[in-house]
Amino acid sequence: MNFRVLITLIIFICLPTAGPAKGFSFKRQVIKKVELKGNKHISSSELKSQLLTKANRWHNVFKKRRLSRTNIRIDERQLKRHYQRNGYLFAEVEAAAEFYEKDSSKAVVIFDISEGKQVWIDSLKCGGGLQRFNTKIKKIFEKIKLGEPINNESILAAGFRIRDYYADNGYPFVRIRPVYKFNNDSSRVIVHFDIAESSFVYNGEIVIIQEGKTKTNEHIFRRELLTKPGKPYSRKHIIESQQRLYSTGLIKYVSLKRSGEPVFISTDTAETDLRLVVSARKSNFVNFRIGVAQDEDYDQSVFQQSLSWGNRNLWGSGRKLIMSIRNSFQINKKGDTVATSVTVGDLFSDLELEPVKLEIEANLIQPWFLGYRMPLSLGAVYEPNSMNFIIDKHYDKLSGEVSLSKEINRFTSAVFSAEIEFIDFHDISSEEQELDRLQGRRRLSLYGQRDTRDNIFVPQKGSYSYSSLEYVGHYLGGDYNYIKGEFYWSRYRILFGDNILASRFRIGALRELGEYGRSSPDDRFTLGGAKTIRGVAENDLGPKWLDGLPKGGKLLVLGNLELRSALFWRIGGSVFVDAGNVFYNFKDFHINDIVGTTGLGLHFFTPVGPLRFEYAFKVQKKLDLGDGSWHLTILYAF
């Protein structure tokens, strides 16, 4: 929820019951026109963008814009706030509604504005409080630019941040009062923050109350708390403690607050008890899923169904156990002995499902390992009598994985994992003895990521990056021997208004190790398609096998630049440039082989992310707009 919507909701809740606009009876008339009078220094278009009350347009077919007393009263305050953000502290706004002269079923809403004098800020000062704190909170004032029109909301926000800083350091009862001191003609102002710090507060006893039938060892909750008995009170630690409790997945509601009146130890020191209320989720859960997926063992889609049972809180210990069974079926035309692609027309013919894979999986998660908040995950997967269509053989596979993750801070995390596989092929002839020696993969991997995006679906600012390193086989044994590294970085910035400039850079490299170095196409890199380089078919760049399937490359280079803009309603647009390629060997790299594409896109914003419809074509000496590709996908490419 953005700041403007939050303020609007607060105003709505706090509004007193208001009478109708002057000389008008509200009968839900359609709004014909919205007029602004008296605004000289701020344009009408800028002010109208702040309003909930808007004129009805031709495209409002299904839901016409009608008069709302509540919306008009909110808009009065919203316009006043907008003026105060631009230095007009004395602005007043009054709204009235009138019948449209040609049709009494329609109305005209008029906002009469008295702008008043614009006020410029001269200086900021602090009075009272603690000197050691006041020197540190000067950074808060850096966001307020002196010599410019005063922003009333920025002043209030600075006061809240000062209050929060004191509350984070043991003074939860501090009082902050901004005082405006105007010059003779009220055109300039000095802002004075009056601070009364009250008493220093320590944490007392923390009482835990568990609601619901599910009971958990209190130790599980206490170890997540950054707030400890006997430590100085910290608002920041209380908020982060609640977030840590939610992240365990054990509870659906948590509240950590002061309990009772503070007990004064001395004249300037007090102690306050805390009360933690938690409502636990049900321990047992069952999930059933059905859908279509792509399996790496053969180039066909499969019909997949899965059933899983889990317990997220084994014996009240906070440990999680998940057991899953997945069945995969190849969709074939009836009578075919070899798996073939099924087209839309085939849906009306006789089809049959051939079982190709059964997976039985178990996962155990220990949220704290060796007394540290580092979740340890143990997993095992057994695949009996599965089918590999590439070599037309059945096999049994047993694999196990252990991973250890660590949250470094709220933006950064790291994961270390180790994996091992055992494969046993059935009915091996004397000519196929090499299959009997297959051992599967042995893998060690390290992965780290940092995410400062403000929204994962529609990011407007921040960045996302990750680095990964895999060591497979070689001294570990197994059938594949290589080392693989990758770096990914994307950045989002706001440009002139609501436009977003998004950029991405990705590079990856794989090197086979030892005399018998080996990697599979799934291990190597591919590029092309709606998520990487638009205007190119999916995974179509780079080296290929004789049958045209992607072989994958050992070197990847990718760069993207995209300008995104909101157009109208829920529609947005973009213009983008993509460039990159994959190369089978490092020596094959040449700058002239980098493929560049450009194009345009339309986006429809849904609750689960933007639906993208884009067209892109290759950038080449001879421009051919017809030699391109259309892409229809959900979520941004990056």
Q: Which residues contact 15 (CB under 8 A, 6 or more apart)?
A: 70, 73, 74
CA-to-CA distance for 465 and 463, rounded, in angstroms? 7
Q: pTM for the whole thing? A: 0.76
Domains along the sequence of the chain with CATH: 3-114 (3.10.20.310), 120-196 (3.10.20.310), 200-280 (3.10.20.310), 283-440 (no CATH), 450-638 (2.40.160.50)
How would residue 154 be classed by pLDDT, with cut points 50, 70 and 90?
Answer: very high
- Sheet architecture: strand order including 120-128: 120-128, 188-196, 175-182
How would residue 19 be classed by pLDDT, with cut points 50, 70 and 90?
Answer: very low
CA-to-CA distance for 276 and 298, rounded, in angstroms? 53
For a pLDDT cut of 70, what percent of the chain falls above it?
Answer: 88
How would residue 5 be classed by pLDDT, with cut points 50, 70 and 90?
Answer: very low
Higher pLDDT, 137 or 23: 137
Highest mean pLDDT among 320-334, 497-511, 622-636: 497-511
The confidence score (pLDDT) of residue 614 equals 94
pLDDT in tens, 431-481: 665 555 566 889 999 999 999 999 999 999 999 999 999 999 999 988 899
On the question of pLDDT at 393 being above 90, the answer is no
Q: Give me the residue label for tokens 């299959």.
A: 435
CA-to-CA distance for 469 and 414, rounded, in angstroms? 12
Higher pLDDT, 104 or 390: 104
Angle (nearest 5°) at CA 27 between 24 and 33: 65
The confidence score (pLDDT) of residue 333 equals 63
| E strands, 267-339, in order | 269-280, 284-294, 301-311, 320-333
The confidence score (pLDDT) of residue 214 equals 75
pLDDT in tens, 203-238: 999 999 998 877 889 999 999 999 999 999 999 999
pLDDT in tens, 234-267: 999 999 999 999 999 999 999 999 998 999 999 8
Q: Which residues contact 229 (CB under 8 A, 6 or more apart)?
A: 203, 204, 205, 206
Contact 285, 312 (CB under 8 A): yes
On the question of pLDDT at 201 being above 90, the answer is yes
Q: Is 372 helix (H, G, I), strand (E, B) or coil?
A: strand
Question: Could you tell me whether strands 269-280 and 251-266 are parallel, antiparallel, or unpaired per DSSP bridges?
Answer: antiparallel
Give the number of other CB atoms < 10 A from CB of residue 445.
17
Supply 112's token pair: 């009469």
The confidence score (pLDDT) of residue 296 equals 55
The confidence score (pLDDT) of residue 18 equals 40
pLDDT in tens, 274-305: 999 999 899 999 999 887 765 555 555 678 89
CA-to-CA distance for 299 and 333, rounded, in angstroms? 16
The confidence score (pLDDT) of residue 426 equals 79
* Mean pLDDT value across the chain: 87
Q: Which residues contact 353 (CB under 8 A, 6 or more apart)?
A: 303, 329, 330, 331, 332
Q: Give me the residue label for tokens 């790291």.
A: 414
Q: Which residues, in sequence order, are bridge partners of residue 383?
A: 397
Instruction: Pick the closest to residue 67 from 77, 50, 54, 76 (CA basis).
Output: 54
What average pLDDT does range 23-35 have in this prediction? 75
Terminal-residue alpha carbon distance, the chain: 22
Highest mean pLDDT among 261-265, 330-334, 500-504: 500-504
On the question of pLDDT at 17 being above 50, the answer is no
Q: Is 374 helix (H, G, I), strand (E, B) or coil?
A: coil
How would residue 141 be classed by pLDDT, with cut points 50, 70 and 90?
Answer: confident
Q: Which residues, in sequence order, are bridge partners of residue 501?
A: 493, 563
Supply 419's token pair: 């994996």
Supply 153's token pair: 């909301």
**Helix axis angle, 152-168 to 235-247, nearest 10°:** 80
How would residue 16 be classed by pLDDT, with cut points 50, 70 and 90?
Answer: very low
pLDDT in tens, 503-552: 999 999 999 998 888 898 889 999 999 999 999 988 899 899 888 888 99
How would residue 158 be classed by pLDDT, with cut points 50, 70 and 90?
Answer: very high
Q: Is 168 helix (H, G, I), strand (E, B) or coil?
A: helix
Of 286-295, 338-347, 372-381, minimum mean pLDDT range: 338-347
H or E stretch covering 500: strand 499-512
Torsion over CA of 347, 352, 356 and 357, rounded to 10 degrees? 80
CA-to-CA distance for 541 and 525, rounded, in angstroms? 10
Give φ, ψ of 152 to 5 degrees: -60, -35
Q: Which residues contact 503 (CB under 8 A, 6 or more apart)?
A: 490, 491, 559, 560, 561, 562
Supply 94's token pair: 């009054």
The confidence score (pLDDT) of residue 186 equals 92
Q: How far is CA 199 from CA 1, 205, 232, 264, 577, in A?
A: 35, 18, 12, 9, 59
Q: Give me the residue label for tokens 């059945």.
A: 394
Q: Is 80 helix (H, G, I), strand (E, B) or coil?
A: helix
Contact 617, 601 (CB under 8 A): no
Q: Give me the residue label for tokens 């805390």.
A: 274
How would residue 117 be classed by pLDDT, with cut points 50, 70 and 90?
Answer: very high
The confidence score (pLDDT) of residue 349 equals 56
The confidence score (pLDDT) of residue 20 equals 45
The confidence score (pLDDT) of residue 57 equals 86
CA-to-CA distance for 622 and 619, rounded, in angstroms? 8
The length of the chain, given as a count of residues: 638
